[in-house]
């Protein structure tokens, strides 16, 4: 039995090379800055698909991008590594990438079905620990994307530190995960999401219900 099947999470060190991670890091910061310029000069708006947003409800005012073509290519590159370590046949769903800033908080939560087998891959910037509760318990009393109230006796979780190129793999729908307030200046991480091909949501959620990878969520077939 794989470590992932036993514990429902694991860390893959050097999942991608530092060179590739640095390239992805610089690419995404350039995309953020270019998108900001285009917003300010009215070439694109929040409603223009594919350019990214600062209106992510989970972490407002932080640049985020769904389904970036480069990151989705990276998701496919990492797929064989994922299948080797999880011992599962996986189907890609979508990617989501953020350039975090000082003070950001990722509240305790579980993910939606398209994030059944999830990863967070550290591309560059300051390190920012992620916490994961391996018990699978439901500790959230009430919550929204921007705030969460948890049980007083909720487990503190296991701290995971990632270096550039390292990747945390976890069962996103089963294990609560979160991050405390970010004390650094910038941290770029991409989330690569997959479904178990033999699982309940596998074939239903392939490409997150889009016709193909690399296109905006506005083109999902269920919208």
Cα separation, 125 vs 127, in Å, equals 7
Give the contacts of 107 (CB within 8 A, at least 6 positions apart): 58, 143, 145, 146, 147, 148, 178
Least confident of 138-142, 183-187, 219-223: 219-223
CB 36 within 8 A of CB 46: no
The label of the residue with tokens 């889009």 reads: 210
pLDDT tens digits along 152-163: 889 999 999 999
pLDDT tens digits along 26-82: 999 999 999 999 999 999 988 888 899 999 999 999 999 999 999 999 999 999 999
- Give the Å distances, CA to CA, from 49 to 199, 204, 216: 30, 23, 6
Q: What does the pLDDT read at residue 147? A: 67
- Closest to 174 measured CA to CA, from 80, 119, 109: 109
Q: Are strands 130-132 and 90-101 parallel, antiparallel or unpaired?
A: unpaired
- Give the Å distances, CA to CA, from 183 to 83, 126, 180, 223: 34, 9, 9, 38
Over 90: is that where the pLDDT of 2 sits? no
pLDDT tens digits along 161-218: 999 999 999 999 999 999 999 999 999 999 999 999 999 888 889 999 999 999 999 8
Q: What does the pLDDT read at residue 221? A: 79
- Closest to 93 measured CA to CA, from 121, 123, 78, 113: 113
- Closest to 170 measured CA to CA, from 115, 127, 123: 115
Q: What does the pLDDT read at residue 48? A: 87
**Residue-range domain boundaries for the chain:** 3-40+48-196+208-214
Over 80: is that where the pLDDT of 146 sits? no
The CATH code belonging to domain 3-40+48-196+208-214 is 2.60.120.620
Q: What does the pLDDT read at residue 144? A: 67
The pLDDT > 70 percentage for the chain reads 98
pLDDT tens digits along 92-116: 999 999 999 999 999 999 999 999 9
Cα separation, 91 vs 133, in Å, equals 25
CB 164 within 8 A of CB 188: no
Q: What does the pLDDT read at residue 165? A: 98
């Amino acid at each position: 039995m794989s470590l992932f099947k036993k514990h429902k999470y694991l860390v893959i060190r050097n999942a991608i090379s530092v060179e590739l991670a640095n390239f992805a890091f610089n690419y995404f910061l350039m995309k953020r800055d270019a998108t900001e310029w285009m917003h300010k000069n009215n070439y694109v708006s929040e409603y223009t698909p594919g350019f990214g947003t600062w209106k992510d409800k989970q972490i407002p005012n932080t640049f985020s991008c769904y389904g970036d073509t480069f990151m989705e290519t990276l998701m496919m590159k990492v797929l064989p590594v994922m299948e080797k370590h999880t011992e599962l046949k996986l189907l890609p769903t979508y990617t989501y990438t953020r350039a975090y800033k000082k003070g950001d908080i990722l509240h305790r939560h579980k993910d939606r079905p398209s994030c059944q087998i999830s990863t967070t891959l550290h591309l560059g910037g300051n390190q920012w620990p992620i916490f994961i509760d391996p018990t699978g318990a439901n500790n959230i009393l009430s919550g929204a994307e921007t705030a969460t109230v948890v049980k007083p006796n909720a487990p503190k979780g296991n701290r995971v530190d990632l270096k550039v190129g390292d990747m945390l793999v976890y069962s996103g729908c089963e294990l609560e995960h979160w991050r405390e307030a970010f004390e650094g200046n910038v941290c770029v991480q991409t989330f690569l999401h997959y479904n178990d091909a033999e699982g309940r949501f596998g074939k239903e959620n392939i490409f997150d219900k889009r016709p193909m990878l690399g296109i905006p969520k506005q083109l999902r077939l269920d919208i």
